[in-house]
Amino acid sequence: MTIRRMSLGMLTLTLIAALFLVGASQTRKNQFYRNLLMQCESLISKTEPLVPDSVNENQINEKFQETIQDSLAKIIVISKEGYAKEVRYYYKKNLMVIDRLDEREKVVRRDIFDAKGRIRIRTYYDYNGNRTRRDYLNIYGKRIDRESFFVPLGGRTGY
Amino acid sequence: MKKTLTQHWQNSVFLVVFVLFFVSINLGYYYFLVFSFELFTLFYAWLLEFAAFGLAYECTELFLSLILRETDLARLKKLKSCPPVALVCCTCDDVDINILKNLGNQTYPNLHIFILDDSQRKESQLVVDSSKFEVIRRPSRIGYKAGNLNNWLFRYGSYFPYFVVVDADSFIPDTFVEEMIHYAEHPTNYNIAIFESLIYAWNTKNGFVRLQNVMTPLVHRHRLRLDNRFESTLSVGHNNLYRTAILIDIGGFDQNYIAEDYATSIKILRQRKWLCKTVPVLSYERLPTNLTEYIRRQARWAFQTFQLLNLNISGLRWTIRLKIIRSLHHYLVPIVASFGIVMLVFFNLQRWMFYPSFHIEYEMVEMLIKSKFFLFWIIYLFLPFILRIILALRERVTIVEYLRSTLFHSALFVATIWPVIRRLTNFWTGDVLGFNVTGRSYSPTFLQIIKLGGAGFVLIWIALFSVILNPIFAGLNLIWILPSSLSPFIIYYYQNTTS
């Protein structure tokens, strides 16, 4: 065995380790986002029976979260013009999900937050409520992955 | 048999600790970093793995050096007889008459001094002739230093059971040969082929040299505590003592490589009969006094290390194999670092193009500082630094001296990035460069320093500019970019400072 062969072996080993690292990172990343989606779904289903509170857009500030009394809360944010702008879901005073609404009060975008209040998943919907794509963001808000969904013929309405 | 088994387990300790560090670093990467599945990210992960190898090796060395005891070689209290010993001094147009004269002060009674003169210049030859020692010249410089030594070895070697090799810039204390023979003659050291000494710099009046020499006690600590224990010592080719019969037996010094020291000791160690060990005997050498000399030496070392690539290492212990890989890794670091810096600049510019704002949002800074990700990078950057501080304090190096030396070495690293890459490119393009001694040069001016460092300095300044554009996400990099960007000033300052 020569030093050249041993060095090439070592370089190959580091390359394999790098491949494992990237591969393992995909699994972990997927697991993290899967957990977040599951938490989001369970939170939304738990808040379904609740009667949502309405607040004006200008009342939503940093101190707003502290005023929430219940462990589960569903808040409809009313815009200055008087229509429903978004629906916020809180768990133990932490903002978990924001559903952005259009003028027909249909959800067009869903932002899911992590425990530190950073948006990690952003899902887009078309006018018919079909999920069109989902972006996975890293802690800096940079998109690291995108998932596109099949929309049945005629389902997409120009969104 | 029992001794071999114990040694086998001891060697495994190094490997086990190394693997533990490597796996821990990878677990850190896994938990704190997210990699998307792209070619660019894969390349980034590869660079991180490359860095992990170096970091794991360094941490293993530092950690074991911290906890293991010194391994003392047995030494005779008094010599029963004084076998004939040859002291051979290799020179090639780099002779210093004062150093040559000093060789005559050795206290060992049965010593014969030979000057192996490869000098091409007449004036150098005249200086050598004035020393009054036996001078041996040859018609050509075939095999460079190895050829020069072999020429002597096969003509006179059989008369001497031992010989000491010194270079033209080596300074050895008067009792050096006597001390070395006390170790070599001890019956338990019969299997040691090469006895290395602990080499310090003698020209420390210059600030440039003094700072290169600050961490030498740590290197010696590694040699005495780790290399001796794990039988991974490789010869440095000078200020050492050889058993002549073994050298003759293996066919002399290896003339195929410029790094004849590594090549020859690997040839000896491959047989698993003989060892190379360091003894606590001091000797001195001249270190480069300015950037020109330093760059010439580093580029040559990089070249000669890669020249060893086709050397056969079958039968060599794993600890030595790892050490050789580490040497290659060390000289590849400038290339990898350049890629890393280019990627950092690319990342910063890309971010800046999307968020062209200098406004620092304190929430974001706070979030970053509190994140585990930040903690990981701090540990990653500072673990070897802290381990080295602890060792430095144990070796009575003050923290101020240590910090100064670290700053100085990082400046030297930046200055040698470009010359080392250039020399390695020579190697890969098949350009066979001959051996040239480090020699002596005048100190370069500030502008010459910038010219010598070339692309390395420019790259660092571009990186600094890109970090300024993106202070939140790349700010941590200022820890190394800021001092590195001052490299030419630091080098110029110490080059012109006396200590």
> Could you tell me how many CB contacts below 8 A there are between chain A and chain B?
75
Strand ranges, E, within B251-409 = 275-285
HEC string for A48-76: CCCCCEEEEHHHCCCCHHHHCCCCEEEEE
Q: Considering chain B, what is the average pLDDT of its residues?
A: 88
- Arithmetic mean of pLDDT, B251-258: 90
Please give, rounded to a whole number of angstroms, the shortest distance from the CA of A146 to a CA of chain B.
11
Q: Which of A4, A5, A14 has the most B C-beta neighbours within 10 Å, making it the best mutation to test the interface with B?
A: A14
pLDDT-derived band at B376, boundaries 50, 70, 90: confident
| Chain A: closest CA distance from residue B196 (Å) | 24
Q: Is the pLDDT of residue B90 over 90?
A: yes
Using CA coordinates, name the residue in chain A closest to B32: A25
Top residue of B30, B35, B428 to mutate, by most chain A CBs within 10 Å, is: B35
Count CB neighbours of A42 within 10 A. 11
Q: d(Cα B235, Cα B146) in Å, to the nearest integer?
A: 13
> Which chain B residue lies closest to A23 (C-alpha atoms)?
B37
Residue B361 has pLDDT above 60, yes or no: no
Choose the closest CB to B37 out of A7, A18, A22: A22
Strand partners, A131: A125
| Cα torsion A65, A66, A70, A71: sign | positive
- Closest-CA residue of chain A to B45: A18
Average pLDDT over residues B168-195: 94
Residue spans of chain A under pLDDT 50: 157-159
Set of chain A residues whose Cβ sits within 8 Å of the Cβ of B53: 10, 14
CB contact under 8 A, B45 and A2: no
A27 vs B444 pLDDT, higher one: B444
So what's the pLDDT on residue B227? 92
d(CA B464, CA B246) in angstroms, rounded, equals: 54
DSSP-derived 3-state class of residue A97: strand
CA distance A139 to chain B (A): 9
Most A CBs within 10 A among B31, B46, B234, B333, hence the mutation to make, goes to B46
Cβ distance A2 to B313 less than 8 Å, yes or no, reads yes
pLDDT tens digits, residue range A22-50? 888 878 777 788 888 999 999 999 888 88
To the nearest whole angstrom, how far is the Cα of B309 from the nearest Cα of chain A?
Answer: 5
Structure confidence at residue A114 (pLDDT) = 87
Cβ separation of A18 and B45 shorter than 8 Å?
yes
Distance CA B32, CA B50 (A): 18
Find out whether B424 and B333 touch, Cβ atoms under 8 Å: no
Whole-number pLDDT of residue B364: 57
Residues of B in contact with A144 (CB under 8 A): 34, 36
Taking an 8 Å cut-off on Cβ atoms, the answer to whether A14 and B473 are in contact is no
One-letter amino acid identity for B414?
V
Test B49 with A14 for CB contact under 8 angstroms.
yes
3-state secondary structure B102-139: HHCCCCCCCEEEEEEECCCCHHHHHHHHCCCCEEECCC
Q: Is the pLDDT of residue B452 over 70?
A: yes
| Sign of the torsion angle spanned by Cα atoms B215, B216, B220, B222 | positive
Dist CA B488 CA B456 (whole Å): 11
Which run of H or of E encompasses B446? helix B446-453
- Nearest CB to B42; choose among A6, A10, A19: A19
Tell me the backbone φ, ψ of residue B475, rounded to 5 degrees: -55, -35
Which pTM does this prediction carry?
0.79
pLDDT at B436: 61
- pLDDT of B491: 94
The encoded tokens of residue B169 equal: 């810039």
What letter would DSSP give residue B174? T
Query: In terms of CA atoms, which chain B residue is nearest residue A12?
Result: B46
What is the distance between the alpha carbons of residues B489 and B482, in angstroms, rounded to a whole number? 12
Alpha carbon of B257: minimum distance to chain A alpha carbons (Å): 13
Please state, in angstroms and rounded to a whole number, the distance separating the CA atoms of residues B237 and B167. 9
In a 3-state reduction of DSSP, which class is residue A129?
A: coil
- Separation in Å, CA of A156 to nearest CA in chain B: 29
**Does the distance separating the beta carbons of B311 and A25 come in below 8 Å?**
no
Burial grade of A120 (CB within 10 A; 0-12, 13-18, 19 or more): buried
From B270, which residue of chain A is nearest by alpha-carbon distance?
A1
What is the model's pLDDT at position B52?
93
Cβ atoms of residues B52 and B29 within 8 Å: yes
The residues that bridge with B457 in the sheet, in sequence order, are: none
Instruction: Report the alpha-carbon angle B419-B216-B94, nearest 5.
Output: 55
Q: Which two tokens stand for residue A105?
A: 């009060």
How much is the pLDDT for A121? 93
pLDDT tens string B463-489 = 999 888 877 667 778 888 888 999 999
Confidence of residue B160 (pLDDT cuts 50, 70, 90): very high
Tell me if A139 and B312 make a contact (CB, 8 A cut-off).
no
ipTM at complex level: 0.82
Nearest to B45 among A7, A21, A140 (CB): A21
Higher-confidence residue: B101 or A28? B101
Share of chain B above pLDDT 90, in %: 56
Q: Which two tokens stand for residue A16?
A: 């394999």
By CA distance, what is B325's nearest residue in A?
A: A7
Provide the pLDDT for residue B367.
58
Q: What is the mean pLDDT of residues B427-438?
A: 66
* Residue A19 to residue B325, Cβ atoms within 8 A: no
**Which residue of chain B comes nearest to A22, CA vs CA?**
B35
B413 neighbors B480 (Cβ within 8 angstroms): no
Residue A70, pLDDT score: 81
Contact A3 B49 (CB under 8 A): no
Query: Mutating which of B325, B333, B424 best tests the A interface, going by the most A Cβ atoms within 10 A?
Result: B325
Per-residue pLDDT of B115-150, as tens digits, reads 999 988 898 889 888 888 999 999 888 888 899 999
Length of chain A: 159
Q: Do β-strands A72-78 and A84-91 pair in parallel, antiparallel, or remain unpaired?
A: antiparallel
Beta carbons of B244 and B158 less than 8 angstroms apart: yes
Among A128-142, B282-296, B408-422, name the one with the lowest average pLDDT.
A128-142
Q: What amino acid is encoded at B249 in this protein?
A: D
The whole-number pLDDT of residue B352 equals 73
A3, A28, A144 ranked by CB distance to B324: nearest: A3
* Token pair 């740590």 in the structure block, residue: B218
Select the residue of B52, B311, B325 nearest A10 (Cβ to Cβ).
Answer: B325
- Report residue B122 CA to chain centroid gap: 33
Contact between residue B441 and residue B94 where contact means Cβ atoms under 8 Å apart:
no
Mean local confidence (pLDDT), B262-288: 92
With an 8 Å Cβ cutoff, the interface of chain A facing chain B consists of 1-4, 6-7, 10, 14-15, 17-19, 21-22, 24-26, 28-29, 116, 118, 138-140, 144-145
pLDDT at position B343 is 87
Under an 8 A CB cutoff, do B53 and A2 touch?
no
Tell me the two tokens of residue B123.
């004036």
Contact A10 B48 (CB under 8 A): no
Do residues B490 and B448 touch, judged by C-beta distance below 8 A?
no
Hey, are the CB atoms on B34 and A19 less than 8 Å from each other? no
Rounded Cα distance between B60 and B66, Å, is 10
pLDDT of residue A158: 43
Tokens read off for B454: 């070339």
Q: What is the mean pLDDT of residues B375-394?
A: 86
CB B198 within 8 A of CB B132: no
| pLDDT exceeds 80 at position B13 | yes
Which residues in chain B are contacts of A25 at CB distance < 8 A? 30, 33-35
| Mutant choice from B26, B34, B262, B316 vs A, greatest count of A C-beta within 10 A | B34
